[in-house]
Amino acid sequence: MKKLVIIGGDAAGMSAAGRAKRTLPDMEVTVLEKSEDVSYSACGMPYNIADPERDINDLVVRKAEVFREKQGINLLTGFRVDVIDPDTRIVSGVTLRGDAFSFPYDNLMIATGATAIRPDIPGADLPGVMPLKSLNDGRKIKAYIAEKRVRKVVILGMGYIGLEMCEALRDRDIEVEMIKPRPELLPWMERKLAGIVQEEVEANQVRLYPGRHVQQIIKKDGRMAVVCPEETHPADMVLLAMGVRPNSREAGAAGLELGPGGSIAVDKTLRTSVSSIFAAGDCSDAFHVVTGEKTWIPLALRANRSGWAAADNICGKATILEGVVGTAVFKVFDLEVAKTGLTVDEAREHGFDPVSVTIETRSRAHSHPGSSTIYAHLVGDKKTGRLLGAQLVGKEGAAHRINAVAVALHGQMSVKAFSDTDLSYAPPFGPTWDPLLVAANQLLKKR
Amino acid sequence: MKKLVIIGGDAAGMSAAGRAKRTLPDMEVTVLEKSEDVSYSACGMPYNIADPERDINDLVVRKAEVFREKQGINLLTGFRVDVIDPDTRIVSGVTLRGDAFSFPYDNLMIATGATAIRPDIPGADLPGVMPLKSLNDGRKIKAYIAEKRVRKVVILGMGYIGLEMCEALRDRDIEVEMIKPRPELLPWMERKLAGIVQEEVEANQVRLYPGRHVQQIIKKDGRMAVVCPEETHPADMVLLAMGVRPNSREAGAAGLELGPGGSIAVDKTLRTSVSSIFAAGDCSDAFHVVTGEKTWIPLALRANRSGWAAADNICGKATILEGVVGTAVFKVFDLEVAKTGLTVDEAREHGFDPVSVTIETRSRAHSHPGSSTIYAHLVGDKKTGRLLGAQLVGKEGAAHRINAVAVALHGQMSVKAFSDTDLSYAPPFGPTWDPLLVAANQLLKKR
């Protein structure tokens, strides 16, 4: 019987393991997970941390036993793979308890995910300086806040994990300062929309310090302090939210081709440059549907989906997984922030001739109570008339609305065709012309 | 200078008038509107009626003077056109004050909208038996409720106007009973989803009487009563919500070709069967993008959009307006109800071989607080794998979510392609796999 070994027991790995077992129940499926946790809602961690009453283990979707006993998966936790040998088809490593192990495979699937980036500065390894990536990170943070009675956190980074966490901490009435090296909050956002997000964050007493290069983190009078040339920021805890990088070191060492950002290069069947080895999830790259080029956008849906598709191909069910369009949403305080497709800068970098509009309209119909402002930014290609991307910010109606554009991007739709789509209208949910249609109509005039 | 005459000064008519004037400022644009109101939010009426403190005239978006003085449109209210003569290119009629009028045109645009259907039974014309279609209908209803201290309303019809109004009336603590001849609430809905809507309506103390053929409405002891064979329903007011029919009598009498439901047949340039005459809005038909056949779905967005497109073609800017997919949403109490595309029955009638799924999932991520159940129904074609339609019901996330499917229908997307789309995910807004993707994945298994 064929042996499938999967490195990594998170979204992509467990999706693949379950799928493979359902498709070929006789296949021997072994999952080697370096931590003790499998199958949990990583994206839910900020919301769990926001509520001191909730158990962090609420985020576990399925326990290891279920995979082992109900699904017949040989799931081994505490198994860290160090070496992949494509020639002998053997992976090997050392367990958390110090025991060496090795497993032969017919097919290998790498689903090692991504790791939080740590700053290369003195003090980055002090206790109380913590990233939020794994469930264990979440556990540590939650326990630390409680035990140390944390009253102030400095967050390094202002991406969406940082923003979700600043909300979570403010919900607990913890003081928050955010620091980053680049001069702008959310540099990929249209400036007007980024300004709305910034106002919302600052209105919730979060102090932003962009353009700061942190020199070191020091211990000082029983607290910590984040030292920048401009000023020093005392803190009870420092949260690292500087982004992630793909866990591809072992794959790279094994000679597998790497893609953008050092992610593992895969084709549309999720196969790597070595035919017996597949990769899926945050460690692997994807095709961008709009540019047709490789990209690395680590997100949960893609992780699940690519895990399934890899398993199907491994099990002999030929499956092509088309690419991503880069849809992402997050909530920060009372705002919904959403994007899909390319920004103006990205469009230009990929050879398009971008035109864009930014409009401001209402989230509900004329005179309907409870309405708020919604901002829509749309990007199109002047040359071909093609729709390239969108961004939305508003107190309501941004998160799901963006999907209309996401689907249009998958369909390679023109701005004109999108502007003619029959989108929903009822007074409690929007104006007669959906904000996206208003933006599309205006964008058409720029051709 | 060319003369454009527009019959009807509501959404389509005023959109066309304004657009034509902006495009060709020298064109003589005359709008003949039979009522005194132009440019108001008809769909907002139930929400306005719900609140006794709000002035019904809040719903006016733009007053007649603005069109006349700022936009230079010859807008004549109280002008009811009775005869269209395509040979002499003259329209004629009588004003509300009894004066005969006639206007010659180079191009005519018919935007006469639709009229509420009245039952052909004794008592249907009693005072206190009222439809809700025009702003004046809204005024009368709101005044009647106040003056007569209405405590109980019987609604004839259970479509979305009826449902929006039952909510509005319950908001004012008015007792509501709803009666209709057909045996089922929302017969176009998948039965499970319709059941959820029914539960919501009944949980708000609205009593539903489907399968009743009303025999007459009588005056009785200073109140009214709706008489059915099964029982008699006392009422202070009777609301007619039995649907609408297109106002196409004059067009039909002039020999213009009619389409589905007696609507005025137009091509993709909004031209009728007579080349100098265009029609737009609720009086005219449209192509259904999924079936490719003519349909009549009177909705506000199409009215505005077709008004613009007709004006563009009249002004010499050749414009093709693609069809509709039949997207519609409404709110009823705490539920969002949404549909787009074809139902299983419609799909079968149009020669497809429909398969469908109905799934039940959560509106937010695993373990995220505030989550509620969301129901998704998806229809595909077994033969071609094409996506054909969707319905959604839930306390949140249905109204905008449906647009992802609407765009997919415009793009003639397959269920497989839709199931691979990169839809948004963040815990406050949905599960990792959007409910629509869960449904699409299940629908794929039915091929």
ipTM of the prediction:
0.96
A413 in helix, strand or coil?
A: coil
List chain B residues with CB under 8 Å of A413: 407, 410-411
8 Å CB contact between B226 and B232: yes
pLDDT for the residue numbered A97: 94
Instruction: Show Cβ contacts of residue A170 under 8 Å, excluding neighbours closer than 6 positions.
Output: A176, A204, A205, A206, A333
Residue B41 in contact with partner chain A when CB distance is under 8 A: yes
Strands (E), A86-211: 90-95, 100-104, 107-110, 114-116, 129-131, 152-156, 175-179, 206-209
Residue B334 pLDDT more than 90? Answer: yes
Cβ-contact A240, A290 below 8 angstroms: no
Nearest CA in chain B to A325: B422
Distance from CA of A217 to the nearest CA of B (A): 32
pLDDT at B399 over 90: yes
Contact B402 A417 (CB under 8 A): no
Q: Give the integer Cα–Cα distance in Å for B45 and A107.
A: 63
pLDDT digits (tens, 9 = 90+) for B30-83: 999 999 999 899 999 999 999 999 999 999 988 999 999 999 999 999 999 999
Of A233 and A367, the one with more pLDDT: A233
Q: Please answer yes or no on whether A410 and B404 come within 8 Å at the CB atom.
A: no
Rounded to the nearest angstrom, the minimum Cα separation between B208 and chain A is 24
3-state SS class at B346: helix
Q: What is the pLDDT of residues A350-363, one digit of tens each?
A: 999 999 999 999 99
Q: Give the helix/strand (H/E) hosting A9.
A: none
Query: What contacts A308, CB < 8 A, 6 or more positions away?
Result: A15, A16, A19
Residue with tokens 């969406």: A160
Is residue B430 less than 8 Å (CB to CB) from chain A? yes
User: Could you give the CA distance from residue B216 to residue B233 in angstroms, rounded to a whole number?
Assistant: 11
Q: Contacts of residue A269 in chain B, CB cutoff 8 Å?
A: none
pLDDT score for B408? 98
Q: Which two three-digit tokens encode residue B201?
A: 């309506």
Which positions in chain A touch B44 (Cβ < 8 Å)?
365-368, 427
Q: How far is CA A352 from the centre of its chain?
A: 26
Neighbours of B231 (CB within 10 A): 10
Instruction: Report pLDDT for B1.
Output: 82
d(CA B279, CA B86): 14
Task: Decide if A313 contacts A24 (C-beta within 8 A).
Answer: no
- Residues of B designated catalytic: 43
With contact defined as beta carbons under 8 Å apart, do A209 and A198 qualify? no
The predicted pLDDT at position A131 comes to 97
Q: Which of residues 325-384 of B touch A (CB under 8 A)?
A: 325-331, 336, 338, 340, 365-369
* Segment A148-170, tens digit of pLDDT: 999 999 999 999 999 999 999 99
**Percent of chain A's residues with pLDDT above 90:** 97
Looking at the complex, does the CB of residue A417 fall below 8 Å from at least one CB of chain B? yes
pLDDT at residue B447, rounded to an integer? 74
Asked if the C-beta of A194 comes within 8 angstroms of chain B's C-beta atoms, the answer is: no
Using CB atoms, pick whichever of A340, A404, A411 lies closest to residue B413: A411
pLDDT band at A447 (very low <50, low <70, confident <90, very high): confident
pTM over 0.90: yes
Beta-strand relationship, A328-332 and A335-341: antiparallel
User: Is residue B415 pLDDT above 80, yes or no?
Assistant: yes
Q: Name the pLDDT band for A206 (thresholds 50, 70, 90).
A: very high
Q: What is the mean pLDDT of chain A?
A: 97
